[in-house]
A and B are shown apart, each in its own frame.
Chain A
Amino acid sequence: MIAAGNHSFCTRAVQSRSVAGARTMSDTISSVPPPMARITGVVYLLYFLTAVSGELFIRGIIVSGDPAATATNILAHERLFRLSAAVGLIATALYIAVTVLFYGLFKPVNKTVALLAAFFSLVGCAIQAFGSLFRVAPLVVLEGSPYLSVFKVDQLQTVALMSIKLNVQATYIYLVFFGLFNLLIGYLIFKSTFLPRILGVLMALSGLGWLTFLSPSLANYLLTYIEVLGIIAEASLMLWLLVKGVNVQRWKEQSSAAGWRS
């Protein structure tokens, strides 16, 4: 009886100690502010919508290999042309927001890698924003200012089309940094405890796909595959964040284990 009593006392003591331990642990975890997973999904979606519509605006305007037709189209749709550049800049601004949100989301997994990913993306965003200059530059050339009459019209039209090609080349450079970003985000998702690993694998593969733009001819050869892979990877990550969010309990555990709270 005595033994049994002692035993039960001991058990209770151990139980109460472990309850107290669990409470302090769960206190720490619950003091971690929740991740902004859904907001990330929303901003990610807005980025896709603006980025795609910016490109759709100029779909019919550029006639590759025909400077005269392109110039006529640009001047006839000047507003649309300017709008596409404006929407492109908004997309870049949204992507900077995505970058900050991803950094906050994945900092608990590995702070250094998360920061590296953010810096890659930031360089990519700067190139994308600067590249948009070459999208609007044709307007400078084609606006018909008298001082440009020292050039022949077809020369100016050729320069305008060349500028649009430079804009495309700037996009290729941007895509390389975007690929590095996706690759690292894929790694962080894979190492995380709060998102399905398959999303990480897909993101890393899509990142490798964008990296082929180091050689634009190779990238153009593989373009369909790269684009399909990119759309599948990013759309599934975006939808997952939007619909399911992240596993909040596990995210908090990982972030309190990483030793930071705000």
Chain B
Amino acid sequence: MSTTVMMKRIAEASPRFKARMAGVFQLLEALTAGFGQVIVLDRLVVAGNAAATAANILGHERLFWLGFASLLIGVAFHIAWALLMYELLKPVNRSLSLLAAFVILVGCAIQALTGLFYLAPLLILGGGSSLSAFTTEQLQALALMFLKLNQYAYNIELVFYGLWCVLTGYLIFRSNFLPRILGVLLAISGLGYVTYLYPPLAYHLFLPYLAVAAALGEIPLELWLIVMGVNAQRWKEQASAAEG
């Protein structure tokens, strides 16, 4: 096979391959970030009970570290996913896809910073004599408070993620190479996440509305990207039309 033919094949495979990888990174992000921010915390945090939470964290220190690491790896997957979606959707509208990429980069920076508050309880509870100016009960209360701050910081990330979903949903809707319904569903789930602007409203709507919207918005897109990729022919048509 000559180099030209090979290069051509790679170029042909590229949009579909990018789409599949985007789906894979989306799945990996959901698994790792979900494990860190949801599963580990659900297992260890006892709402309103600082002493029980502290005992759980110290009793499962390794799991807690794993949750922290998983959270950060999730941010890396998130950035890779967002970059691939930017590349895929650039032919639809260059400015809007750049806006979506910038919005999610801000979101990812905040997602990474939540790690600081996630980790703080370990420093506070395992600080030993250097923290003896506080009573044990006070330190336990501080640890629980930092986990609440982690939740608040995560809420901010969700707002930017929601905006990204709305923009990306619109771009998918306007594309010729992905089913329009996937865009509509993603945009609806994005609007749900935007309610985290006012967290009491989001908590109120979470079950069933936000949870259902998120599942409907993200799972079909993820599966479509992994299994079907994009229509490579149409992607190329739209890309060359955009370059005019």
Contact = CB atoms under 8 A, between A and B. Distances in A.
Contacts of B159: 89, 93
Contact of B198 (A83, A103, A132, A140): A83
Given A145-B48, A262-B244, A90 B153 contact: no
Interface in B70-116: 94-95, 98-99, 102-103, 105-106, 109-110, 113
Given A92-B106, A100-B99, A122-B105, A130 B153 contact: yes
B200 A140 contact: no
B137 to A, nearest CB: 4
A86 B113 contact: no
Interface of A: 31, 36, 82-83, 86, 89-90, 92-93, 96-97, 99-101, 103-104, 118, 122, 125-126, 129-130, 132-133, 136-137, 140-141, 145-148, 150-151, 261-262
B137 A96 contact: no
B81 to A, nearest CB: 18
A140 B109 contact: no
Interface string B227-244: 000000000000000111
Chain B interface size, under 10 / 10 to 19 / 20 to 34 / 35 or more: 35 or more
A147 B95 contact: no
Nearest to B104: A96
Nearest to B145: A140
Interface of B: 48-50, 94-95, 98-99, 102-103, 105-106, 109-110, 113, 135, 137-138, 140-141, 144-145, 148-149, 152-153, 156, 159-160, 163, 197-200, 242-244
A151 B141 contact: yes
B102 A96 contact: yes
B110 A130 contact: yes
A140 B117 CA distance: 13
A27 B94 CA distance: 22
B189 to A, nearest CB: 17
Contacts of B50: 147, 150
Sort A-B residue pairs by CB-CB distance and give the 9 closest, nearest first: A126-B109, A86-B197, A150-B137, A147-B50, A100-B99, A126-B106, A140-B148, A150-B138, A96-B102
A126 B110 contact: yes
B95 A100 contact: yes
Contacts of A151: 138, 141
17 contacts: A36-B95, A82-B200, A86-B198, A89-B159, A97-B99, A99-B102, A100-B98, A103-B98, A129-B109, A136-B152, A140-B149, A147-B49, A148-B145, A150-B50, A150-B135, A151-B138, A262-B243
Nearest to A99: B102
Nearest to A261: B244
B95 A101 contact: yes
B102 A118 contact: yes
A75 to B, nearest CB: 14
A133 B135 CA distance: 27
A83 B198 CA distance: 7
A126 B98 CA distance: 16
Contacts of B152: 133, 136-137, 140
B138 A122 contact: no
Contacts of A99: 102
Given A82-B199, A148-B141, A31 B149 contact: no
B198 A82 contact: yes
A262 B98 CA distance: 13
